[in-house]
Amino acid sequence: MQQHKMSNIMKIKFIIGVFFLMHTLSMFSQNKLVAYTYWFNDDTTNMQEVAFTPVTTHQLRTDFDVSALHDGANVLYIRYKDENGLYGSVLSKTFVKLPQPASSQNKLIAYTYWFNDDTANVQEVAFTPVTTHQLRADFDVSALHDGANVLHIRYKDENGLYGSVLNEIFVKQNIAISNNSIIAYRYWVGDDFSHSVEVALSNPAQQVMILDDFVVARVPKGNRTLYYQFADSMGLWSVVNQCDFYKNSLPVADFDYNMTVTCDSTVVDFIDCSVDGDSCFWDFGDSATSTERYPQHTYYSPGVYSVTQTVIDTTTFMDSTVVKTIHITGNSYAILDLVVCGNYISPSGKTYHASGTYMDTISNHLGCDSIITIDLTIKPLPDNGVTQKGIVLTANQTGATYQWLDCDDNFSEITHETERSFTPTKNGRYAVVVTLNGCSNASICHTVSTIGIVENTFNHDLVVYPNPTQGKINIDLGFSYENVSVKIQSLSGQIIKQKHYNNQQLLELDLDVAEGVYLLFIESKDVRAIWKIVKQ
């Protein structure tokens, strides 16, 4: 749709929807517009203000008197004011004022149009003479090439004079479109298309009027251009439209940084990412400061530092501050306060046997020294000695707690055997864990093998193990004997197995008999011993 008016070329019609106008006022959700001001070119001394009933959205439809302006290109500036007295961005519109025709009643009588550079096929459409004409028409573009094309239109008055040429770029697609609709739009500021914002429409339509706010906190202050375009249901984007606006100053502090780490220091390059700040102040968190825009700072001690950046607009004195935490490594340190039993092996592998304060050094993940201060308290281990009398085992340490273990059963705890002395019920190997003042110490395993002795006339103890057994018996005579006779007999007196040995101390016997209780006889000259043996 194009709207054109000629009335001695002395007035212009200006229609504007408040689209993206409230970007500086959008933070006030209930704020309303109360007036607009306008001026031409740079003539701010003749700025005019027009008040109206407070509204949240205003559509401007009015005529402006341009009779005092020079012929040729001129610029109209408009900005809105809210009920707090704050002004929004300045909108600008460029127009051409033509020389005044002779007749004050000059009217429009026709318009001509053509596509691209095809001036040989200019078409003229006449209509009833009017002072203002609104064009609503369909144009046949079937003969045009696919892709981008340009429609040119100009109006003619009753004096045969033509107005300026209006141009509209459009894209012709060689596709069949039925009930096509606008489904989304996107916008961006300046050349920053990578941060464009895309908005999907909840109710797609063939015609869309958008009244929206957009966030300009990251847009630098000054004259800026907003670009926007629309997407249809075919997934195609329209040509790019644009709107000029003025961004008021709104400082926003922000920064990033890069670190170069060595063992004796860390160098940090700070990158200013702030907006609208004319001056910049840094506090690096270690009493050092800077007013440079991109400072470099060296930290010599590892730790966590809070870095503060403050930016100020030196005209409005508005400011913004941001604080970020950075972690500095390099040479590191640690303090260990330890209480251990017996001895302590440090991180570097040193062994300490006495209480005291020690310094240790290892490498951290950067390959730099990590200094460790160790405040060490070493408590003595309890005595783990055991005295054996016959089959009775007694821990040497008094006043402690005890837990007896079965060494032949993977050092499992023996239930209810927590006294200082322990009397086994079967032959085997046993140990005790002694605990005193929070420190525990385990004894070695002690063998008990004399359980089940019926008779023994040898002048010393013999050792028979294991008992019970699952098939093999070991006999330690203590000395080498000649003509040793060993036999296995059932409890009913039946001899099950018999074997002779000569000049041997250690004897081995396979008990390949059924499970049960048997008697083991060992004889040599005038001495003998009898054991009860259990085959499991």
Segments making up each domain of the chain, as ranges: 2-97, 108-172, 182-247, 255-328, 332-379, 386-448, 453-535
Strands 351-352 and 472-481: unpaired
Q: Nearest-CA neighbor of 374 among 329, 330, 331, 344?
A: 344
Whether 515 contacts 506, CB under 8 Å: no
Whether 108 contacts 161, CB under 8 Å: no
Q: Nearest-CA neighbor of 77 among 37, 49, 50, 46?
A: 37
pLDDT at position 178, please? Answer: 65
Three-state secondary-structure class, residue 135:
strand
Whether 428 contacts 447, CB under 8 Å: yes
Find all residues with CB under 8 Å of 520, minimum gap 6, and list them: 464, 473, 486, 487, 488, 530, 531, 532, 533
User: Residue 187 forms beta bridges with which residues?
Assistant: 197, 228
According to the CATH classification, is domain 2-97 in 2.60.40? yes
Q: Nearest-CA neighbor of 445 among 472, 425, 424, 468?
A: 424
User: Which of 42-51, 110-119, 318-327, 456-465 has the least mean pLDDT?
Assistant: 456-465
pLDDT at position 177, please? Answer: 61
Residue 468 has pLDDT above 90, yes or no: no
pTM: 0.41
Whether 297 contacts 270, CB under 8 Å: yes
Starting at the edge strand found earlier in the chain, the sheet holding 222-232 runs 197-205, 182-189, 222-232, 241-247
The label of the residue with tokens 């032959």 reads 427
pLDDT at position 325, please? Answer: 95
Whether 383 contacts 418, CB under 8 Å: no
Q: How far apart are the first and last CA of the chain?
A: 108
Q: Which residue has the higher pLDDT, 211 or 301?
A: 301
Whether 517 contacts 534, CB under 8 Å: yes
**Residue 218 in tokens:** 């990251």
Find all residues with CB under 8 Å of 42, minimum gap 6, and list them: none
Q: Nearest-CA neighbor of 487 among 473, 498, 501, 477?
A: 498
Q: What is the pLDDT of residues 395-447, one digit of tens each?
A: 999 999 999 999 999 999 999 999 999 988 788 899 999 999 999 999 999 98
Q: What is the pLDDT of residues 256-276, one digit of tens each?
A: 999 998 877 899 999 999 999
pLDDT at position 23, please? Answer: 33
- 333/362 Cα distance (integer angstroms): 10
User: Average pLDDT over the chain, rounded to whole?
Assistant: 85
pLDDT at position 7, please? Answer: 35
Output Rg (C-alpha) for the chain, integer angstroms.
52
Q: What is the pLDDT of residues 47-91, one digit of tens each?
A: 999 999 998 888 888 888 888 898 888 889 999 999 988 888 888
The label of the residue with tokens 């966030």 reads 215
DSSP result, 245-260: EEE----B--EEEEEE
Residue 106 has pLDDT above 50, yes or no: yes
pLDDT at position 128, please? Answer: 92
Residue 366 has pLDDT above 80, yes or no: no
The label of the residue with tokens 């309303």 reads 32
Residues 120, 125, 130, 132, CA torsion sign: negative
Q: What is the pLDDT of residues 140-151, one digit of tens each?
A: 888 898 888 899
Q: Which phi and psi (to 5°) does residue 520 adopt?
A: -105, 120
Residue 116 pLDDT class (50, 70, 90 cuts):
very high
Q: What is the pLDDT of residues 227-249, one digit of tens each?
A: 989 999 888 888 788 888 898 99
The length of the chain in residues reads 536
Q: How far is CA 179 from CA 1, 67, 232, 237, in A?
A: 20, 46, 10, 16
Residue 525 has pLDDT above 60, yes or no: yes
- 509/469 Cα distance (integer angstroms): 11
Here the contacts of 412-421 (C-beta below 8 Å, separation 24 or greater) are: 420/394, 420/395, 421/392, 421/393, 421/394, 421/395
At the top level of CATH, the class of 453-535 is mainly beta
- Architecture label for domain 108-172: Sandwich (2.60)
Q: Nearest-CA neighbor of 32 among 81, 90, 87, 82?
A: 82
- 439/344 Cα distance (integer angstroms): 13
Starting at the edge strand found earlier in the chain, the sheet holding 48-55 runs 48-55, 33-40, 72-82, 91-97
- C-alpha 341 chain-centroid distance: 43
- CATH number for the region 255-328 comes to 2.60.40.10
Whether 499 contacts 511, CB under 8 Å: no
Q: What is the pLDDT of residues 205-219, one digit of tens each?
A: 888 887 777 788 888
Residue 14 has pLDDT above 60, yes or no: no
pLDDT at position 437, please? Answer: 93
171-210 burial code (b ≥16 CB/10 A, e <16): eeeeeeeeeebbbbbbbbbeeeeeeeeeeeeeebeeeeee
Confirm whether 255-328 and 453-535 share one CATH topology.
Answer: yes
- 388/444 Cα distance (integer angstroms): 12
Three-state secondary-structure class, residue 42:
coil
Residue 390 has pLDDT above 80, yes or no: no
Amino acid (one-letter) located at 252: V
